[in-house]
Amino acid sequence: MGKSSSCDEPGPKKGPWTPEEDQQLVQYIQQHGHGSWRALPKLAGLNRCGKSCRLRWTNYLRPDIKRGNFSQDEEKTILHLHSILGNKWSAIATHLDGRTDNEIKNFWNTHLKKKLMKMGIDPITHQPRTDLFSNLQDLLPSQFQPLDQHAATTLHDAAEAVAQSVKLQYLHQQYLLQSHLLNTGVNNYIPPPIKGNPVSNSSQYFAVPEIDEMGQDSNFTTMASSLSQADKNPPENDEYPPWFLQYSSDAILPTHFSINNPEDACCSTSSNGGIRSSTSCSYWPELFLEETKTDYD
DNA sequence: AAACAAAACAACCGCCTCCGC
DNA sequence: GGCGGAGGCGGTTGTTTTGTT
């Protein structure tokens, strides 16, 4: 720590590399190998510090570097590995041929992080952003707070809140399933059976607003549709990533709301004068079970 | 077409770990 | 075991490119 390096000394050029410098560096390494990075600049006739040369070579000039946009598969791999490894860019890079840690890091910071946040997922923990839900609660008028006895009389606003909640859950579920799919290498993943009382397999249950705007792809739409089907070949519990199981046990659908507008959300509700109601959600395995409320009166 | 903003990317910096002495 | 040099890593900054008004 605090040691001087060749880069700390005054003299060596900094900033963007010129094509001539690139050529000099490539030529030297091709002929002699890089050897000692510290000694390389002098030997190659470059007015750069060794560290700068190493970075330029490993991040840009190396012949095996893959340029261009990240593919869907690469994106999924990064998401999955990041959920396990965190910001260990070099470790992640070892799983992606031709991609450098720097490139992956940049891609994460400029694309994936924002994408996850947009989906309501904390990019650090890969868990749902609970702050969104607490904010949602804050936004509700006081008469709609969960314990309020009269909340059920204003179903429309409550349903909107649930729809938001459900949408975020849905988007998160997409993410989990994509990650699981990647993890298991299964191309036609059929989720486990749905507990409770699935309402129907009507397509309306997949009409979640703004899915396309949130980066939905057609493959996943197909997979999501399969969620309403009967169990065919469910994976064993231990095949799920740990965070999937944890999330599944932490269903956060508000329990004192009722929905009277199923096409606005992914749930269906039967109600009894707005006082007693039940809500069934049909396509999140073990996540949205049938909720029956009887405590209002 | 110009100005400005946002996004993307390359490069730098400080710190850490490893390894030889 | 301690020290110091070299290389590596992750965070951050600076520059360039692209998009928008």
Residue A10 lies in a domain: no
Give pLDDT < 50 ranges for chain A: 1-6, 8-9, 133-164, 167, 184-297
Please indicate, yes or no, whether residues A136 and A251 belong to a single structural domain of this protein: yes
- Give strand letter and number of the nucleotide nearest A49 (CA to C1'): B12
Only one residue has tokens 């009269």, namely A150
Final residue belonging to a domain, choices A118, A153, A187: A118
pLDDT in tens, A274-285: 222 223 232 222
Please indicate, yes or no, whether residues A163 and A230 belong to a single structural domain of this protein: yes
> Number of folded domains in chain A?
3
Q: How far is it, in rounded angstroms, from Cα A171 to Cα A175? A: 6
Q: What is the predicted pLDDT for the residue at A222?
A: 30
pLDDT in tens, A78-123: 888 888 888 888 888 888 888 888 888 888 888 888 888 777 777 7
> Which one, of A121, A238, A240, lies nearest residue A189 by Cα?
A240
DSSP characters for A50-62? HHHHHHHIIIII-
A184 touches strand C (CB under 7 A): no
Query: How many angstroms is C1' of C11 away from CA of A291?
Result: 46
Sign of the torsion formed by the C-alpha atoms of A80, A86, A87 and A90: negative
SS3 content of chain A, % helix, strand, coil (to 5): 50, 5, 45
> Protein footprint on strand C: which nucleotides are under 7 Å from a CB?
4-12, 15-16
Residues 48-67 of A with CB under 7 A from strand C: 50-51, 54, 58
Query: How many angstroms is C1' of B2 away from CA of A44?
Result: 44
- Give strand letter and number of the nucleotide nearest A106 (CA to C1'): B9
Query: How many angstroms is C1' of B5 away from CA of A108?
Result: 21
Q: What is the predicted pLDDT for the residue at A145?
A: 38
Please indicate, yes or no, whether residues A237 and A142 belong to a single structural domain of this protein: yes
> Which one, of A178, A192, A161, A189, lies nearest residue A126 by Cα?
A178
Cβ of A141: how many Cβ atoms within 10 Å? 10
State which residues form the domain around A188.
130-293
A89 touches strand C (CB under 7 A): yes
Q: How far is it, in rounded angstroms, from Cα A137 to Cα A127? A: 19
> Protein footprint on strand B: which nucleotides are under 7 Å from a CB?
7-17
- Give strand letter and number of the nucleotide nearest A59 (CA to C1'): B10
- Could you tell me which residues are beta bridge partners of residue A269? A279
Q: What is the predicted pLDDT for the residue at A175?
A: 52
Please indicate, yes or no, whether residues A215 and A91 belong to a single structural domain of this protein: no
Please indicate, yes or no, whether residues A178 and A51 belong to a single structural domain of this protein: no
What phi and psi values does residue A61 have, to the nearest 5 degrees? -95, -20
A90 touches strand C (CB under 7 A): yes
Query: How many angstroms is C1' of C10 away from CA of A234?
Result: 40
Residue A97 lies in a domain: yes
Q: How far is it, in rounded angstroms, from Cα A252 to Cα A168? A: 11
Please indicate, yes or no, whether residues A95 and A179 belong to a single structural domain of this protein: no
Q: How far is it, in rounded angstroms, from Cα A29 to Cα A151? A: 72
Residue A125 lies in a domain: no
Q: How far is it, in rounded angstroms, from Cα A150 to Cα A138? A: 17
